[in-house]
Structures are given as structure tokens and as C-alpha cells.
Amino acid sequence: MDVVACAPHPGFGTVEVRRGARAEIVDLATCRTHTVPASGTRIHVGGRTIVAAPRGSSVANLGSSPDRKWQLFAIDPMSSMSIAADGLTVKAVSVRTKRVRTLGAGLIYADYRVWCGNRLVMTAGGDRMSTHHKWLIVTSPPDWRVRVLVRDPKRAFGALACDGESVVVQSGRDSGLDWTHAGHWSLWRVSLATGALHRLTSPPPGSDDDSPRVTPGGKVLFVRTRNHVGTLYGLGVGPLLRVGRDPDEYYGHRGWTTVSLGARRR
């Protein structure tokens, strides 16, 4: 690969440039280049391969720990989107030693995992239907001992956000195959110390409270959805603005990735 006017610039990490099934990795600190299989089969940190998917599989990069010492990932066997849709096993690998720890299986939506300081809280449980068979687990490096935070066979849990010593999570009755039923989700606060539940919202019939967010100032935002149309709400405040439809709604999960906190100002 031609590197144009490359001068070493420490601190900028590495860049991957895809070339079909292969990729060129450029270390911007040294301008050294090497060839690897394209993204989707490996994860690189600092120019080193720390995860390589088995032949015929792919790897999902699920982000790093706050101290950057661990990388989260999941292997998608046979690179099957159908298999991945029913959940994958989330693992953590040490960036330094490449030691791997298994955390738990679940849907790998970005809003189904959240860091609260050094603690990782995750919505666990297989089955692509978000309204079925989901509970919360919590763990932390370096030991990665996993404990169940809250599990109730009558309830399903979904997207979550950190709120200090608790998480705000959407939850509703475990409805099995009835994932299209509106009025399923409401918001609850769960203590990280005890797993105690406290209800925060009670949406009107036919509405769902999705995608909780917590601002740096501790304000709780969420999207109330009715007839597939969302309105951004502030907890204890009410409606703030219409946000339209979520284009990525899938089996009861609405990630509302079109709505971001801290939007750029002109």
C-alpha cells in the first residue's frame, strides 16, 4: 500500500484500509504497514491482533473497558446473521495478555450493555424477541465474576443506562411470542448493590417507553413510542420533541440510534 507523506505521529493509533478480503494496517506512530484479513475476522489494538475469529466465523467488536485494558467481543459462528440475531456469547480479552473471560450470552445491541464506573451491566438471555427471557447481570475486571443483578421469569429487561449507583432500564412483562404488543415497556431503576426495582414511568395504553439515556447532569431522557412514532421525554418533565420513526426496530427492540445526546452546535 502507498503511504503518502507519512511521518510518525505517536498517539494517533492505527488505521485500517480495506482491500477486498484483506486489509492494510498502518501504525501512525511508526508508519509501519502490515497486511491482515479484513475487519470482521480480527480485532487489533495498538497494531497487535488480540482476537482472531475461527475460519468461517466473524468477530463483533463490542468496545473496550473504561481503562482500555480489556476488549469486549463476540464470535459469530459461520458469520451467520441469523445466529447472531438470537444472541451471542460476550467475552472479554486482556489487551496485554490476550487472556479471555466469558461474561454471558445475550443480544449484542449497543444499548444492552453499559459501564457504571468499573462495573459492566448487561442484558442477558438468548432469543431475538426482546420481550422474552431477558435478565440483568453485572461483572467487572480483572476477575470478571458474573452475578445476576435481577431476574424475574415474569419480566423481560431491555435497553439500559447508568445512573450512578443504579441503572435505568426498560422492562415489561415476559410476553413470549407477543413481541408486537404495544404498551409493553416502562422504565425502572435497579440498584447495583441490591438489585431492588423501582418503577419510574407508567406509559398510557398503547405506548412504550424505550431507550433510556442519562445526561452528564443526571437527567433521565427516554423515547415514548406510539404507533411506531417516538417523542423524546424528560423524566418528571414530559414531552420535549418529536423524533419520528426508528428505522431499526427489530423484534420489539428500538435502539433510537437516530437520537444522540450532546448534539453538535453550529
CA atoms within 13 Å, Cβ hemisphere of 213: 19
CA atoms within 13 Å, Cβ hemisphere of 196: 5
Find where cell 480480527 sits.
42
Q: What is the pLDDT of residues 230-246, one digit of tens each?
A: 999 999 999 999 999 98
Closest CA to 28 of 52, 5, 61: 5
pLDDT at position 19 is 52
Return the percent helix, strand and coil in the chain, to nearest 5.
Answer: 5, 50, 45
Q: Within the chain, which residues score under 50 in pLDDT?
A: 1-4, 20-21, 36-39, 266
pLDDT at position 178 is 55
Q: Is 67 in contact with 85 (CB distance < 8 Å)?
A: no
- Cα–Cα distance, 203 to 118 (Å, whole number): 32
pLDDT at position 24 is 62
pLDDT at position 31 is 74
User: Superfamily assignment of 109-257 in CATH?
Assistant: Peptidase/esterase 'gauge' domain (2.130.10.150)
- Delimit the domains of the chain by residue range: 109-257
